């Protein structure tokens, strides 16, 4: 069945609205923690919850993309694929959590025993965090963006609800704040598991065959997931390793403010890949070009606003202790804009069944990040971390652009915003608002 433009635009609008709401909630939680804990406490909090977040995103073996692709291409095998996907999820996450437990003392030796204890303890949350990733990918393959968005909103909203009373009671510490981040995911996990069970009826039949189907695509696309995760977390992991807790706190605040811009691109990626699978190649390129033009223009415009207002925003929102984050904020904003464009264009390769190409190209670009950081962070501090990310992102974007004509034998998507793009966005927003008004009127009747 062909998905109409209206349904795609509605899915994007819902996802973008969800992302903006989550951004607002995360900004509020970041402000509460930054003001209550100061830079050193904020750095300790980030260290406690970084390990399970990193592992659940880094060690997916490409399962989210593989489930999306296989469930769309082979819907008759959905129960077997989903059951095997869940089994692989818990096996992978359990092994990675065990490895993290033994490696953490060597990675964060400058942190207190208390921070190390909680960082190890919260590794138990790794299976839950990874299940969210594959669960959302599965329900999105069936157009279940509403359920996916609800699973995204629930945990940060509950986190904020826990942080605020603790702050006013004077009980907010790095450890109590970390619990507020971890505990809300548990009830949402059970709800998501029930939703997946109801939608797919997972079963463990043909496990070997389903594993081969998932991993054959997943391993080839894994590099994209890994590169995306590394681009999000490798800087924090190395800052944690090489710098002091207070510098980690300043870096996390600047990073959080720049990542407010992720809403547009991540919302498009959620919708574009499932919609583009099985379409003609030129149509996929056209869809990708339109998506990258519109979202990059919107992101760049918002990024300019953050750069101009950055110094005042940092002091107003987080406090004067974070004024030093201004210089790295400008670099990180530019990096987010380019990273988003790269992620959107990568979806064309995914939809055309060529994930291995993006894996190889992204790996080449990402391989610059770690050596650059090891060289630049000791010399330039936080500026070195931000510049390393920017250089790596520029390399990945260049590789992706060159690969359209060289590998796919297709034209590079047009990146300049056209008048018809603006007209189409305006029209789709009008259609979506009309649908909303009609639904509200029906409910009133």
Give me 23's structure tokens: 């951004």
Pick from 259, 234, 263, 261: which is nearest to 17 by CA? 263
* CA–CA gap between residue 191 and residue 208 (Å, rounded): 28
* Residue with token string 């949402």: 188
Query: Exposed, middle or buried by CB within 10 Å (0-12, 13-18, 19+), for 363?
Result: middle
Alpha helix segments (H runs only) across 126-261: 126-141, 145-169, 174-182, 185-200, 207-242, 245-258
* CA separation, residue 9 to residues 16, 45, 388 (Å): 10, 38, 35
In the chain, where the domains are located: 5-433
pLDDT at 178: 94
* CA–CA gap between residue 357 and residue 350 (Å, rounded): 9
Q: What is the pTM of this model?
A: 0.69
pLDDT at 6: 39
Pick from 178, 120, 189, 183: which is nearest to 150 by CA? 189
* CA–CA gap between residue 298 and residue 220 (Å, rounded): 31
* CA–CA gap between residue 369 and residue 246 (Å, rounded): 23
* CA separation, residue 268 to residues 36, 107, 284 (Å): 35, 35, 14
Is the Cβ–Cβ distance between 403 and 272 less than 8 Å? no
pLDDT (tens, 9 = 90+) of the chain, 445 residues, equals 333 333 555 555 566 667 778 778 888 888 898 888 888 888 899 889 988 888 887 788 888 888 888 888 888 888 998 999 999 989 989 998 999 999 999 888 888 899 999 999 999 999 998 898 888 888 887 777 777 778 888 888 999 999 999 999 889 999 999 999 999 989 989 998 998 898 888 988 888 988 888 888 888 777 667 766 776 677 777 887 777 778 888 888 888 888 878 766 676 665 555 566 657 778 888 888 888 888 888 888 888 988 888 788 888 888 888 888 888 999 999 998 998 888 888 878 877 777 777 777 667 777 888 899 889 988 888 899 899 989 988 888 888 888 888 888 888 888 777 777 666 666 655 555 565 566 555 555 5
pLDDT at 87: 92
């Amino acid at each position: 069945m062909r998905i109409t433009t209206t349904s795609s635009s509605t899915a994007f609008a819902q996802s973008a609205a969800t992302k903006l709401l989550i951004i607002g909630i995360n900004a509020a939680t970041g402000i509460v923690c930054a003001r209550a804990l100061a830079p050193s406490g904020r750095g300790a909090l980030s260290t406690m919850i970084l390990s399970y977040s990193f592992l659940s995103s880094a060690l997916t073996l490409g399962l989210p993309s593989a489930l999306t692709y296989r469930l769309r291409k082979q819907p008759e095998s959905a129960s077997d694929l989903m059951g095997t996907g869940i089994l692989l999820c818990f096996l992978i996450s359990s092994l990675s959590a065990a490895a993290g437990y033994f490696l953490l003392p060597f990675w964060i030796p400058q942190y207190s025993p208390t921070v190390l204890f909680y960082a190890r303890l919260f590794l138990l949350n790794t299976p839950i965090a990874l299940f969210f990733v594959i669960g959302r990918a599965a329900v999105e393959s069936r157009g279940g963006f509403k359920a996916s968005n609800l699973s995204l909103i629930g945990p940060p909203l509950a986190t904020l609800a826990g942080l605020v009373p603790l702050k006013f009671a004077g009980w907010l510490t790095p450890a109590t704040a970390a619990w507020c981040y971890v505990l809300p995911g548990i009830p949402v996990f059970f709800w998501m598991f029930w939703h997946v069970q109801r939608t797919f009826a997972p079963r463990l039949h043909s496990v070997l065959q389903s594993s081969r189907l998932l991993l054959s695509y997943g391993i080839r696309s894994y590099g994209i997931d890994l590169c995306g995760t590394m681009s999000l977390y490798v800087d924090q992991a190395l800052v944690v390793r090489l710098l002091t807790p207070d510098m980690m706190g300043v870096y996390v605040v600047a990073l959080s403010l720049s990542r407010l811009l992720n809403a547009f691109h991540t919302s498009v990626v959620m919708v574009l890949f499932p919609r583009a699978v099985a379409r003609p190649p030129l149509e996929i390129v056209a869809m990708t070009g339109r998506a990258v033009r519109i979202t990059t223009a919107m992101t760049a415009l918002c990024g300019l606003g953050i750069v101009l207002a950055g110094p005042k925003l940092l002091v107003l929102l987080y406090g004067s202790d974070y004024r030093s984050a201004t210089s790295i904020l400008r670099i990180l904003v530019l990096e987010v804009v380019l990273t988003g464009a790269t992620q959107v264009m990568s979806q064309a390769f995914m939809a055309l069944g060529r994930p291995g190409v993006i894996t190889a190209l992204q790996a080449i670009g990402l391989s610059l990040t770690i050596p650059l950081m090891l060289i630049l962070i000791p010399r330039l501090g936080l500026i070195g971390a931000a510049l390393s990310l920017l250089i790596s992102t520029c390399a990945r974007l260049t590789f992706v652009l060159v690969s359209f004509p060289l590998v796919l034998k297709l034209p590079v998507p047009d990146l300049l915003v056209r008048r018809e793009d603006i007209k189409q966005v305006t029209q789709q927003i009008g259609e979506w608002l009309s649908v909303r008004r009609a639904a509200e009127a029906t409910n009133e009747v």
